[in-house]
Amino acid sequence: MSDQANCDEMTRNGADCNTLADRLQATIDFMEEHYSEAITREQLAAIAGLHPDYYTRVFKRHFACSPIRYLTKVRIRHAKSRLLNGTEPAKMIAYSLGFSDEFYFSRKFKSQVGLAPSLYVKRLRNTEKIASLNHLTTGHLLALGITPYAAVLNRAFQLEDKLSQVLPIGYFNPEMEKLMNAKPEIIVTRGNREEELSLRLRQLNQIAPTLKLDFEQDWRQHFQEIARAINKQREAADWMGHYEEKVLQMSRSIRKRIGSERILLLGINAAGELYIYGQRNLGSVLYQDLGLEIPEGVKNISHYQQVSLRQLATYEAERILLMSFQYDGKSLTKLKLAKEVERLFARAQWKQLPAVRQGKVFNLIGSGHLYTSYNPWSHNLLLDIVKQSITS
């Protein structure tokens, strides 16, 4: 039966006749979202509104494999990312992905990938072809002594000297075609508030096993997760040891110098809007690691909060670190930002702030997001700049 004849038959039976491609895509979407469940050919055919035999024939014609074989490919793709994470045994992964047992999973994995799961993981964790999709993950890799093979690069994260040999795959967000052509063996990206099975994550997993950091976890957990995935646990432990020792020494010296003075982390964007950084990003270094006093009101801010210039006085901070907020590194944005900073400094309400009157504002606008990214590399640099701001 031709596609048109099949469509005509369904129309006579009262069915809504969408295009055949849409019907097949609906079954693909179902597989992507329910791959861990028991799925049958008949179930998929029913979703497409087609007879099972006819559904199988047209699916093969469009995707060069049967629906069940395609489902196995989806499961193996997800298995790769789960194996990369390294927190689950293969047996648990096999059952959770819908395979009857770990041996059947291993056979299917080897037939599609060419390696047993254990050997695949070993090869993956020693690869140098890692793609970083944002500054946060790039900072984690740099702290582990790894320069990413490919990365999203722009002037907002000013590390051109360290990233000059990195293959660019986008300016602010990854360009999927460039990422695909780069052929990375691992992709590392940050988490967000979106659903885990987003279309974007699905696309990334089709290119390479993708490690997506959990948005709710802190930077130390992110650091350990990446280190485990690329076999750099020892490097991570060494780095954290040096960082904690540095924090301990700085905390003592800063306390002696400023006592209970409070430092406000203030961001400004190219539209002149002001934002208070809360306790997660830069605040995790100042208020948690260094244990410095938190200005009034900041305890209630998790990530950031927009404020007016008039509201700034209510935070009662003796010192201010001024930096850019959501800066994209573009030349036009840089010019607009500089103009807005100039306007801010000229306003009477700004001049009346205690930190401004006492000359205790440290301007980090020119550094972009070098110190504000939520990663160990940026945090280590932030410690140095905090020390400089207090002693200058």
CA dihedral 372, 273, 171, 283 (to 10 degrees): 10
For residue 126, which phi and psi values (nearest 5 degrees)? -115, 10
User: How far from chain centre, in Å, is Cα 206?
Assistant: 17
Query: H helices within the chain, ranges in order?
Result: 3-12, 20-34, 41-48, 52-63, 67-85, 90-96, 102-113, 117-124, 135-143, 160-163, 176-182, 199-207, 219-229, 233-258, 282-283, 309-312, 331-346, 348-351, 354-357, 376-391
Please list the pLDDT of the chain residue by residue as tens digits (392 residues).
444 544 544 444 334 445 888 999 999 999 988 988 889 999 999 999 999 999 999 999 999 999 999 999 999 988 888 888 777 788 888 888 888 888 888 898 898 888 888 898 888 888 889 999 999 999 999 999 999 999 999 888 888 778 889 999 998 889 999 999 999 999 999 876 554 546 777 788 889 999 989 888 999 999 999 999 999 999 999 999 999 999 999 998 898 888 889 999 999 999 999 999 998 888 999 999 999 999 888 988 888 999 999 999 888 899 999 999 989 888 899 999 999 999 999 999 999 999 999 999 999 998 888 888 999 999 999 999 988 888 76
pTM equals 0.84
Residues 82 and 76: their CA atoms lie apart, in Å, by 10
Q: Coil, helix or strand for 189?
A: strand
In this prediction, residue 17 carries a pLDDT of: 45
In this prediction, residue 193 carries a pLDDT of: 55
Q: Residue 147's closest CA among 133, 166, 161? A: 166
In this prediction, residue 201 carries a pLDDT of: 76
In this prediction, residue 195 carries a pLDDT of: 47
In this prediction, residue 16 carries a pLDDT of: 46
What count of residues does the chain have?
A: 392
Residue 184 burial by CB count (10 A; 0-12/13-18/19+): exposed, middle or buried? buried
In this prediction, residue 363 carries a pLDDT of: 92
Q: Coil, helix or strand for 273?
A: coil
